[in-house]
A and B are shown apart, each in its own frame.
Chain A
């Protein structure tokens, strides 16, 4: 973007402005402090942005604990745990990157930022496995929730060949394109002797490669454990939920003792378009379990969007580190992106126990 600024006679208050100090700031420190307060305020808005989802979560958990009890067995806590570790580690590398930026050691910053990006992509890879596994079983948001246990046959030839879900192929298109694009561009830039661009593109390709590492690891975990062990196996889950339901129905004797056998339920569907809600259905999973997954998808989805945005910001930091911009009196952007990244981690620190570890 062209910044249009009139040429102006030298000002009496004009002093030795460093390379990166904007004209309206008096000193590097003022600029840094402004940015710092700005990013903290931005994080405040992020926290409040997520707060709505936490409200929805708390509300449904308090009002319908049974739904949460039934639903959480579908989440594999070991995958969640692994992802937590990945994010924590990425936070560590980011913190170290900021440290080196503060010391002006740009080359170190490059490596640690790259490490952070690889972790970020790996996190998304694992998430992709988790999501697609659920979609295969019809574990969707409330209105599309249509659980059917068991193994699902992929229809796409490629998916069959690889032994993965159709959905995984679809959502991997973007990372594949990015990976190939950056790799090709790296070669092109190398040939045209644009050293920085070549190096940057190569780094980006590696960073995006993290997605495939995560997805592969997640995939093999699922294969080896036959659908994951962190969330109890499929059949056990189905059984558990079934038992829980019948169990809880017996307890709630205050509810209208209308025990809906199949014929009654069918009759109802025929008579009225919209059936009155009669508590959890016995023969099927309760559709309202879908609300848990609505919340799950909203929370983790929004979080994943933040990770993706974070990768974009980190790429910018990576580029500027390659250009060697950081000095002990100018490292603000790296610090700010670091703060953003830690916040994303922070939110996950809460999401993990809230979603995966319900007992």
Chain B
């Protein structure tokens, strides 16, 4: 960490940067929305991955600038990013398994119609 301010450890982010980031986030959101509205037949299953990539890019922007990761200690960055590793592990290993017994779940006898709750 550099201590360019007098004795301080604060790193105020320049307002221009913050606003730029915000505009980028809005544009990316519009992009995802537009993608889902136009029927992109050629993309097919990729649509999902593109949407997720855009979301991750947005997440990266939020993390880097709104959450000051760009100026933060590397250790803190490591700590936070490690969480995604464990999430991937959790999703990945669970998913490897589930299709195997899908049929037993699908064929399990269902409860008959639910109680109506609506007034």
In the complex, A touching B (Cβ < 8 A): yes
Q: A interface vs B, CB < 8 Å?
A: 28-29, 32-33, 36-37, 40-41, 43-44, 47-48, 51-52, 54-55, 58-59, 62-63, 77, 81, 84-85, 88-89, 91-92, 94-96, 98-100, 102-103, 135-138, 140, 142-146, 148, 152, 155, 166, 269, 272-277, 287, 328-329, 331, 335, 338-339, 342-343, 345-346, 349-350, 352-353, 357, 359
Residues from 47 to 76 in B contacting A, C-beta threshold 8 Å: 47, 51-52, 54-55, 58-59, 62-63, 65-68, 72-73, 75-76
Task: Check A47 against B114 for contact (C-beta < 8 Å).
Answer: no
28 A-B residue pairs with CB within 8 Å: A44-B79, A44-B83, A48-B90, A51-B90, A52-B90, A55-B95, A63-B98, A81-B33, A85-B26, A89-B22, A92-B18, A92-B19, A98-B68, A135-B118, A146-B114, A155-B119, A276-B110, A277-B107, A277-B108, A287-B113, A329-B7, A329-B8, A338-B66, A339-B67, A342-B66, A345-B66, A353-B36, A353-B55
CB distance from B56 to the nearest CB of A (A): 8
The yes or no answer to B91 lying at the interface (CB within 8 A) is: yes
In the complex, the chain A residue whose C-beta lies closest to that of B52 is A353
Contacts of B117 in A (CB 8 A): 138, 140, 144, 146
Q: B interface vs A, CB < 8 Å?
A: 5, 7-13, 15, 18-19, 21-22, 25-26, 29, 32-33, 35-36, 39, 47, 51-52, 54-55, 58-59, 62-63, 65-68, 72-73, 75-76, 79-80, 82-84, 86-87, 90-91, 94-95, 98-99, 102, 106-119
Q: With contacts A339-B67, A342-B66 known, is A96 near B18, CB below 8 A?
A: yes
Task: Check A349 against B86 for contact (C-beta < 8 Å).
Answer: no
Task: Check B80 against A350 for contact (C-beta < 8 Å).
Answer: no
Q: In whole angstroms, what is the CA distance A89 to B19 when docked?
A: 10
Secondary structure at the A interface, as helix, strand, loop or mixed, is: helix
Contacts of B102 in A (CB 8 A): 63
Q: In whole angstroms, what is the CA distance A280 to B109 when docked?
A: 14
Q: In whole angstroms, what is the CA distance A63 to B96 when docked?
A: 11
Task: Check B52 against A99 for contact (C-beta < 8 Å).
Answer: no
Task: Check A353 against B51 for contact (C-beta < 8 Å).
Answer: yes
CB distance from A80 to the nearest CB of B (A): 9
Most buried by B among A37, A275, A357: A357
Q: In whole angstroms, what is the CA distance A99 to B8 when docked?
A: 13
CB distance from A352 to the nearest CB of B (A): 8
CB distance from B39 to the nearest CB of A (A): 8
Contacts of B15 in A (CB 8 A): 96, 99
Q: In whole angstroms, what is the CA distance A166 to B119 when docked?
A: 9
Q: With contacts A144-B114, A346-B63 known, is A359 near B11, CB below 8 A?
A: no
Contacts of A100 in B (CB 8 A): 12
Task: Check A357 against B51 for contact (C-beta < 8 Å).
Answer: yes
Q: With contacts A37-B79, A77-B33 known, is A346 near B62, CB below 8 A?
A: yes
Task: Check B87 against A54 for contact (C-beta < 8 Å).
Answer: yes
Task: Check B94 against A55 for contact (C-beta < 8 Å).
Answer: yes
Q: Which of A43, A92, A102, A269 contacts B22 (CB 8 A)?
A: A92
Q: In whole angstroms, what is the CA distance A77 to B37 when docked?
A: 10
Task: Check B114 against A145 for contact (C-beta < 8 Å).
Answer: yes
